Structure 1
Amino acid sequence: MDFLKSAVASAIAKGSSFPYSLGDRVDISDSIWTLHNAAKREDGSACSIFTFDIAANKSRLPLAKNAVRKFRTLRHPGVIKVLDTIESETSLYIVTERVVPLSWHVKRKSLSEETCKWGLYTVATTLKFINEDAASIHGVVRASSIYASESGEWKLGGFDILSSMNDETAVIYTYGSLVPDAARYTPPEVVKGGWDTIKRHPLSAIDAYGLGILIFEVFNGNFTGGDQVGKTTNIPPGMQQSYKRLCAANPKIRLSPAHFVEQGKKHGGFFQTSLIRLTDDIESLGLKNDTEREEFINELDQLSDDFPEEFFKMKVLPELLKSVEFGGGGPKVLAAILKIGSKLSQDEYNSKLTPVIVRLFGNPDRALRVCLLDNLPLMIDNLPQKIVNDKIFPQITSGFTDIAPVVREQTVKAVLSVITKLSDRTINGELLRFLARTANDEQPGIRTNTTICLGRIAKHLGQGSRSKVLIAAFSRALRDPFVHARCAGLLALAATIDFFTEEDCASRILPAICPSLLDREKLMRDQANKTLELYLQRVRKFGSTMPEVALPSSTSPEPSKDAARIGTSNDKSWAGWAISSFTNKITAANGEIEPATNGAKPVEAEPSRSASVPRPVKTSVSAQLDVPKETIRPAAQPLGRRSQSEHPVPVTMMEDEADDGFDAWGAMEDDDNHTQQKADDPFDPFSPISNTASSSGLAAPMKASPAPYDDGGEPDFAGWLAAQSKTKKPLPKGLNKNAVAPPVSRTSSSTSATKPKAVAPAKKIDTKPKDNDDDDGWGDAWD
């Protein structure tokens, strides 16, 4: 190493720059060469350099020069690829592809049986080429002459005595014995008669013997001497017979490397393996028809994980990428690509696979799209977030509206994989709009998966829209005719309980769950009970932290006599709520609908009077026209209640929130909004009158509310009127209908104050009996 550095330094000093940077030295044995890892200065690409020190090994210089010459002229896939050769007065350099000695793996016994067969097949095929096509003899076939490339392929080297038999002065005849440790590997006929004897034996005999020794080394880890030749220890059973013929003592009956390959390739032979077939077919994958490509992919699927990963990265993957992108490889080829890609580093993945994946998502082939979506979990971790959000997801969105249900379903499932790579704007905008569409899909399975998907991505949704979207989607799912879609809604509500407020749980979610308690399917009823219990526990827990009594809005004491009235808030009987509601209904319906005029004056408060005393006659009917036109009923005070001014009832209206992401979910709340609006309807006869007044925006036109009713011991005047009507007795004077002045028209309202010709009472009393004989008319004339 020090000498090499000095030689390079001297070369640079003379004005010529060495184009490679030398790295670490690689230990190799039984060789006249020193191996270094190196890199090309121009582009930094990795390579290896074999160096030979002329001064230290001058006697073996002919071997080194022979190796340089043969490396330049011999080209074969099974031979180490040479990039450059450099010769100087002090050193020889052979620059090759990056390689490591096979002896490293052999000594560690780190090679699987399939890999060993694959490597031996490559070496035997290369020796066949050297012996038959090149009419040459390698002469030094052993583990120290074999190297593994970056792709994991076995490459033949050690061309120190490689000679052509057409050359009468070949190096092998003169310098064959100068090879390091030649005595241990030399065939018996050469030991007896020297290297000249090879002329009298078959050309392949020397290399066949070396191939037999290589087989023993590969499967046993070390070769100590000639006594181990022919032993079948650890040799695969199918290969033992052919192996023994390679190691035969008689060179004339030895099996040549070509015949060894032929026997191994027979049906059921030892070279009939998936890895070897893959090696033979990968180069011509683009030329295969659909049937042949199908067979090739099936072979690829059968490969186990103990096969060399480097070979798949360097050789198989590029061919598969070309096939799937340009040769119509289809989904199966893509699955094989992604399986290999899972073993790539991040840099390798970004440079080799990411650009191809982006282009494949733009392919309109549905089968390819489904395969991409199905395998998205395998690739998503290696894809940059910007690539997914800006380039891949816009292509995925076309699957939400595809006419094929399987594409839509796979697209919904793929959301779970890409959600972590999407921006908040994309999630709460475009994604939610598409999920709102699939939530109403015609396929029940797609609706179910959309509900499940929303439940699992809930934590990624924006806080402003999350509760609205989830409640709308899950409430709709609970009304789905498909039982599993309904069940998915319950499960999703149970899983996302932490994302809702206690007010939402009590007012919106619990009412939506309750109908499922009586679902036709027992599965739904059981799950509804479980989900309901979860929400009840949360609401109860929150309710226990609330104060027992809320602070009153007014400090004025309530009249003590109201406590004795029926239907008040103090009534604790079992039917108190029903009586209260009925009383409110009667009170709300009291009075007449009177016409209103513009510019009418407010009605003066009427003084308190006894129930038996007739109502005083108004001097003008203009007060009757003083109620605004929009008034449906007068804001009369409930019996035994506080005045409306003491109990303001705020009405909170649901406001639409503006967001371009979850506006699509508004339609899913139509039913719920309708229910809410009905509950707040100001014209609902069953709503409390205080709510009616507040929601309608009308205040009572009276300056002071009338005093609570007190009969003062007087007889029931309304009951007496009803009894008189049944017996058809004439009414006392002043209570007859004929005494009531006709209603004043709207056009005469302006002059009614100056012309008091007709005097009308303030209130009409309808004494006509009801059609129902059971109704005694109680409360019909209640003031």
Structure 2
Amino acid sequence: MDFLKSAIGSAIAKGGGLPFSLGEKVDFGDSIWALHNGTKRDDGSACSVFVFNIDTHRSRLPLAKNAMHKSRTLRHPGVIKVLDTIENEHTLYIITERVAPLSWPVKRRSLNEETAKWGLHTVANTLKFVNNDAQSVHGAVRASSVFISESGEWKLGGFDILSSMKEEDAIIYTYGSVVPDSGRYTPPEVVKGGWDTIKRNPLTAVDSYGLAILIFEVFNGNFSGGDQVGRTTNIPPSMQQSYKRLCTANPKLRLSAGHFVEQGKKHGGFFQTPLIRMTEDIDSLGLKSDAEREQFINELDDLPEEFPEAFFKMKVLPELLKSVEFGGGGPKVLSATLKIGVKLSPDEFNAKMTPVIVRLFGNPDRALRVCLLDNLPLMIDSLPQKVVNDKIFPQMTSGFTDVAPVVREQTVKAIIPIITKLNDRITNGELLKFLARTANDEQPGIRTNTTICLGRIAKNLGQSTRSKVLIAAFTRSIRDPFEHARAAGLLALAATIDLFTEDDCAGKILPAICPSLLDKEKLIRDQANKTFDVYVKRIRKSAATMPDTVIPLHARAEPPSRPGPQAETPGDHSWAGWAISSFTNKIATTSGPIEPTNSGKPTDPETVRPASAPRPTQSSPPVELHKQALRPTAQPLNRSHSDRPPGAYHDESEEEEDDVFDAWGAMDDDETETDPFTDAVESQQISSPALSSRKAPQKPYDDGDELDFAGWLAAKSQTKGNKPLPKGLTKAKSTNTVTTRSTATTAKPRTVVVPKKIDTKPKEEVDDDWGDAWD
């Protein structure tokens, strides 16, 4: 039976069957306890475990049992929170909240003055409770008895000899000297008269002396002995006088911990710090008025960065979230909440902040919505992508159509930080539709910010929608009446040049930029020149890599015998001679009958006669035929489907544009003016009776790219009363035949007979007004 008990005790001592698992050991100085980091088995939360080995320290067992009992019964915010205690034959366990020894930062001297005052204020208040309310004496106040919780707060522990003065056999009287390293920290009156002198002196005297030693350790890092007590080295000047009164040699004159707090809380006292004031007000934040709440937030914003972040995460943040969601804290409290929330780890943020943020986006308060949108860059990295797409963005969309301009504008601005979290369906669908609305907003600032937003998110758009949407949006923006919107459009085009093809740059973007070169505002002109230069430079660079021609070698024409026309100075008229000589060369080589064009039918063979045959008696039809054949006809601009080249294939599916593109419109959808050139051609076609009854030939007397001067001069001579052509331009043969192309692409060449004109006037009479034919 003894063997079984020993085995069970040994297993329990090693951690078997305990509600926690022991982790690494934490060193915190001389103590009867060993401190371990632990984890609770039921929920996996972190904890600390104080372990006392009975077999090793049996002589100090009464101290361990006293600490276990006092820890369970003493409840105060400044005391370590005890979760459980376990006792067996070999070991005592005290399971507490996760804490770390204060001696670590004290030895490293890593505590700043504000944090040190805040911690000392907590310890002094706790000692005030122990002395005044619990009527007890701690007896071992020092740095090794103070711990730092996960929230950064200082917690009082080390209750080995904590005793109530109402007890006749208090443990402090018997075991006060058994505490490790008690010789350095014992008050001088106890050194002289023993622990029984506590009964003859004020109850607070021993702990006041220990508080003075703690102050010295916090600001100096180490305490070697009684000769250092009372020194003011590194202690803040405002605290030095009260500190000296804590450690005076006469116990009856010592300042109690309660009075020390009162001295520090006076106007301008050493405990009048923003951090201490915030700590006292945070618990009652939900009960404060709007003015008091605003004052609290102002103090919170004024806090420097070196204050303990853990305290804000564990204590301040939960209270702020309650105030925002249920206490009507408003945007200012929300802003302070988000500044603290961004310091959380991703897991902590998702657990504490994400659910609240999602609920706040559904709040109809516009002030809260604007505050959320303003602070979105701070928290977007911590928000999961699924939450953004499924919960936050659907709530944001109402801001695009809100009646308040500030909400619409902030919603547009918020797209830039959130774009990386949106999926492709939302980015290239819903988002572009909403931005198309704000691009036409009545507020010029919203239109400008929409253009800037599109420029910033251009790389996130899909390749199938990027070019169409951006070109339509930016070219429309540079026609905006608001000068800053035009400037934004030009800047956006310059910033996104790499996203467009060379064809788009030359055919769509550059023509849209050109009007801005003569904008009434110098700001726009300067930016237009910069953007124009960027695009021209890219186009020239691309053109330098293109081949000289794409015509195959076997399809190229014979090289001319002499150089072609060159650009000349305005005073040089050699181009006219080139045109006439080319035309006369063409006339000399033409042959074959000319086909009449007054009808679309082929010429009757009976109408064709040789040059020696007599002229028909009816002369009006040939004259009319001659006029119809020589009249130049304008090429119609609008061709039917039968006139289109066979290679131009038209896919009807291309006409079904996506709703996104319909929302943005075409690049020139704002221009409603009619092309005057098109109107002139259409009116000429309608007014001509000869053209209205038949289909016009495509290019009568077409000679490639050269002008048909012969046909034009002949027609002109008919309109001048049948005047002869100028000398040197008369036809040499009685009948010339010119081959023309038919209007239909599949028709064969047709010929027209040109009647010979006999000059019956005397040769000596020369018409000297031949130049009228050029009119």
Same fold (TM over 0.5): yes
Matched, 1:494 2:497: no
Alignment check: 8 A CA contact 1:78 1:155 kept: yes
> Cα–Cα, structure 1 residues 678 and 546, in superposed 2: closer, same or farther, change >3 Å?
farther
Give runs of aligned pairs for residues 142-541 of structure 1, distance below 5 A. Answer: 142-541=142-541
State the distance in 2 between where 1:300 and 1:546 align: 65
AA at the equivalent of 2:135: A
> Cα–Cα, structure 1 residues 248 and 401, in superposed 2: closer, same or farther, change >3 Å?
same
2:658 paired residue number: 659
Alignment check: 8 A CA contact 1:137 1:204 kept: yes
How far 1:425 sits from its partner (Å)? Answer: 1.3
> Cα–Cα, structure 1 residues 704 and 408, in superposed 2: closer, same or farther, change >3 Å?
closer
> Cα–Cα, structure 1 residues 667 and 506, in superposed 2: closer, same or farther, change >3 Å?
closer
How far 1:660 sits from its partner (Å)? Answer: 3.1
> Cα–Cα, structure 1 residues 382 and 722, in superposed 2: closer, same or farther, change >3 Å?
same
AA at the equivalent of 1:371: C
Alignment check: 8 A CA contact 2:633 2:696 kept: no
Alignment check: 8 A CA contact 2:9 2:90 kept: no
> Cα–Cα, structure 1 residues 698 and 199, in superposed 2: closer, same or farther, change >3 Å?
farther
Report the secondary structure of 2:657's partner residue.
Answer: coil
State the distance in 1 between where 2:609 and 2:148 align: 114
State the distance in 1 between where 2:140 and 2:34 align: 17
Report the secondary structure of 1:233's partner residue.
Answer: coil
Alignment check: 8 A CA contact 1:330 1:368 kept: yes
AA at the equivalent of 2:254: R
1:50 paired residue number: 50
State the distance in 2 between where 1:355 and 1:238 align: 45
Alignment check: 8 A CA contact 1:477 1:488 kept: yes
- Name which of structure 1's ranges 408-417 and 233-242 shifts more when overlaid on structure 2: 408-417
Report the secondary structure of 1:230's partner residue.
Answer: coil
- Name which of structure 1's ranges 295-304 and 655-664 shifts more when overlaid on structure 2: 655-664
Alignment check: 8 A CA contact 2:127 2:257 kept: yes
> Cα–Cα, structure 1 residues 659 and 647, in superposed 2: closer, same or farther, change >3 Å?
closer
State the distance in 1 between where 2:616 and 2:439 align: 65
State the distance in 1 between where 2:380 and 2:609 align: 82
What are the ranges of 5 or more consecutive residues in structure 2 without an aligned counterpart? Answer: 1-5, 580-594, 636-641, 686-693, 724-752, 756-768
State the distance in 2 between where 1:669 and 1:646 align: 27
State the distance in 1 between where 2:164 and 2:119 align: 25
State the distance in 2 between where 1:451 and 1:353 align: 32
Given the two structures, how large is their TM-score scaled by the length of structure 1? 0.79
Give runs of aligned pairs for residues 623-642 of structure 1, distance below 5 A. Answer: 636=633
Report the secondary structure of 1:86's partner residue.
Answer: strand
Alignment check: 8 A CA contact 2:15 2:22 kept: no
Report the secondary structure of 1:30's partner residue.
Answer: coil
Alignment check: 8 A CA contact 2:321 2:337 kept: yes
> Cα–Cα, structure 1 residues 493 and 703, in superposed 2: closer, same or farther, change >3 Å?
closer
State the distance in 1 between where 2:200 and 2:87 align: 36
How far 1:776 sits from its partner (Å)? Answer: 10
Alignment check: 8 A CA contact 1:441 1:447 kept: yes
1:670 paired residue number: 669
Q: CA RMSD in A?
A: 4.3
Given the two structures, how large is their TM-score scaled by the length of structure 2? 0.79
2:63 paired residue number: 63
How far 1:720 sits from its partner (Å)? Answer: 6.9
Alignment check: 8 A CA contact 1:118 1:276 kept: yes
AA at the equivalent of 2:148: A
State the distance in 2 between where 1:62 and 1:210 align: 22
> Cα–Cα, structure 1 residues 282 and 601, in superposed 2: closer, same or farther, change >3 Å?
same
State the distance in 2 between where 1:316 and 1:426 align: 37
How far 1:363 sits from its partner (Å)? Answer: 1.1
Match of 1:722 among 715, 720, 723: 720
> Cα–Cα, structure 1 residues 53 and 762, in superposed 2: closer, same or farther, change >3 Å?
same
CA offsets per residue over residues 619-678 of structure 1, 9 Å max, x none?
999x99xx9xxxxx999599xxxxxx9996987999545223332111664146x68x95
State the distance in 1 between where 2:237 and 2:560 align: 109
How far 1:545 sits from its partner (Å)? Answer: 2.4
AA at the equivalent of 1:535: Y
Alignment check: 8 A CA contact 1:138 1:207 kept: yes
State the distance in 1 between where 2:197 and 2:699 align: 137
AA at the equivalent of 1:53: N
How far 1:557 sits from its partner (Å)? Answer: 6.5
Matched pairs, number:
683
Alignment check: 8 A CA contact 1:719 1:777 kept: no
Report the secondary structure of 2:48's partner residue.
Answer: strand
State the distance in 2 between where 1:466 and 1:131 align: 74
> Cα–Cα, structure 1 residues 702 and 666, in superposed 2: closer, same or farther, change >3 Å?
closer
State the distance in 1 between where 2:503 and 2:132 align: 89
How far 1:249 sits from its partner (Å)? Answer: 0.3
Report the secondary structure of 1:662's partner residue.
Answer: helix
Indicate the percent of aligned positions where both proteins have the same amino acid.
Answer: 66
How far 1:9 sits from its partner (Å)? Answer: 6.4
CA offsets per residue over residues 737-761 of structure 1, 9 Å max, x none?
xxxxxxxxxxxxxxxxxxxxxxxx9
AA at the equivalent of 2:659: D
State the distance in 1 between where 2:68 and 2:17 align: 21
AA at the equivalent of 2:156: L
Report the secondary structure of 2:269's partner residue.
Answer: coil
Alignment check: 8 A CA contact 1:274 1:300 kept: yes
Report the secondary structure of 1:36's partner residue.
Answer: strand
Alignment check: 8 A CA contact 2:633 2:700 kept: no
